[in-house]
Each structure stands twice: as C-alpha cells, then as structure tokens.
Amino acid sequence: MEYDIEPDIGHSREDMFKNLYRNAVITVKRYGVKVRHPFTQALARAVDAKLSEKLTKTDYVIMGSEIIPVESQIPQGYLYMGDNPHYQLIQQIVGQEKKITESALMRVYLESERYLPNTESGRKYFMELLKKMHSYGYLLVEIEKQGKNMIRWLKPGRAVRTKNKRIMIAKPGYDPIVVKLWDFLRDSPESVTFDNIRNYIINRIGWLETLDELKRYLNYMISKGYVVEEYGYYRANKPIIPFRKEERRKWKFPILGKKF
C-alpha cells in the first residue's frame, strides 16, 4: 500500500507546509476508502509516506514540523529541539549535496560555514561528531570505484531525532551550543545555577547528552570571558567572538558523551 502526506480537511498546501503536525494527515486507500491518520514522524518513517504527487512534482525534505520543497531554497541552519545541533547541521549539508566526501564536508563545515573553528582541535571534534553520527545511523557510507581509486561518499541516513519546535537558526562563525547557552544566561530573569543550565540544555532541548560535555562548554565560555561564575551562579558577560576572528586561537572541545 502507498501512503501519502496530504493537507488535513480544511487546510491548504501552504498550511501543511508550515506545520505538518497540525495541518497534515497520512492517508492510505483501503478497499477504495481513503483512511486518514494524524501525521507523526514515526508513522511517516514506518510506512515510508511520501508527499502526494497531486501537490508537487519536486523533491522535498521534512525538517521538524515543516516541509521544505527543494524548488525553494532549503533553509540550512534551522535547528530544532531533540538532539545535538551539530548533527542537525551536518545532516542538512549532506542532504543538500545528496552525497559528499568527508574532506569536502569538513571544508564546508569548518572553512565556509565555520560552525566550528578550522584548528587541529576543531577538526578532531568534527571527526568525533561524524563517528557518533555513523553509530546512530544519521550518516551512511557508499564506496564507489573510480578507476584505481575508491571514493568514500557520505550520504544521509535516518533523520536526526528532533522534535517539532524550531528554536534557532544557526549563524555562520558560531558554535550554536555556545550561542544557545549564552542566550539562556543573558535572558534569564533570575540567578542561574548549574542545575538550571543542565535542566535547560540537556533535559529540555536535548542539545547536550552528558554533564561532562556541559562542564567543558561552560569552562570554555568562562575562559573566554563570555560567562562569569560567582559563588555557584552563572551569568552572561561579554559577547561571543565569531570563529573567523579567533581562528588562530586554541579551542579545546568537549568529549562527546554516549547515548543510552
């Protein structure tokens, strides 16, 4: 049976593209009768639901609660709750290219977009991210023989596990985790403890996995003067400097934690 993603009754194509969870349904014909199911990412993946050809003939990607047609510019940098934003950004870039070599991906990520600095530690951290993504199935590998050479292509795997709430658009030159932590401290009306930060970045939005990762990020931000810690309370201090302006400075990255 073929399953289609269509607008729910009373909603237009444009409504559906804005919010799948509210305005879309997954349909299938059984004995000539169209059956409608509420849209969820899990169901869409399980039944391999496709966007109805009655709506568009173009390719598309599903990002969080939105459908982004390839005929329009895909908003690279959209970040959602649920998992490490670097996983999301890397998968977006790989998805746009369809397939890309590891070295080319690193150049895009570190030299062009600069979501991490182009330093030895930045490259090491980037490779750790790729290793984790392979282990979670977020990236796949395709080996292609070209003459005497074997080309190792990276391709998108299963979608990074995100929720339907977009919370940020990544800005080139900045680590989105550093930015999100700094914004949280700046916007907090009361004094912020380590537990407050942990509850937000790990439990609420899911951008970090372990306490060690969080401690390393906070220590880095304190060392740069972006954050001040006094008597167990944290506050935002000076604005973050983009990596383009500090590419020759050393940056020690947190060790990625494990998922359980």
- Who contacts 96 (Cβ-Cβ below 8 Å, separation ≥6)? 74, 76
Nearest residue to 118 via CA among 232, 242, 27, 13: 242
pTM: 0.67
41-57 mean pLDDT = 69
Q: Read out DSSP for 66-126?
A: EEEETTSPP-TTEEETTS-HHHHHHHHHHHHHSSEEHHHHHIIIIIIS-SS-SSHHHHHHH
Q: What is the pLDDT of residues 247-257, one digit of tens each?
A: 444 445 554 54
> 233: part of which helix (H) or strand (E)?
strand 233-236
Q: What is the pLDDT of residues 224-234, one digit of tens each?
A: 999 999 999 99
Bridge partners (DSSP) of residue 38 are 25
Nearest residue to 17 via CA among 77, 45, 58: 58
Alpha carbons within 13 A on the beta-carbon side of 19: 7
Lowest average pLDDT, out of 44-58, 147-161, 167-181, 235-249, goes to 44-58
Give the SS3 label for residue 132.
helix
pLDDT surpassing 50 at residue 259: no
CATH 1.10.10.10 fits domain 78-156: yes
> Which is it for the CA torsion 186, 219, 252, 125, positive or negative?
negative
Q: Where in the chain is the domain with CATH 1.10.10.10?
A: 78-156, 174-242
- The more confidently predicted of residues 255 and 142 is 142
CB atoms within 10 A of CB 150: 9
Which tokens in the block code for residue 206?
A: 């899911």
- Secondary-structure breakdown of the chain: helix, strand, coil percentages, each rounded to the nearest 5: 40, 25, 40
> How many Å apart are CA 70 and CA 58, to the nearest integer?
7
What does DSSP say about strands 50-51 and 4-7: parallel, antiparallel, or unpaired?
parallel
pLDDT surpassing 90 at residue 160: no
Predicted pLDDT at 154 = 93
CATH topology of domain 174-242: Arc Repressor Mutant, subunit A (1.10.10)
Please name the amino acid found at residue 61.
Answer: V
- The more confidently predicted of residues 132 and 75 is 132
Predicted pLDDT at 68 = 53
> How many Å apart are CA 160 and CA 156, to the nearest integer?
10
pLDDT surpassing 50 at residue 70: no
Let me know: does 11 contact 20? Beta carbons within 8 Å. no
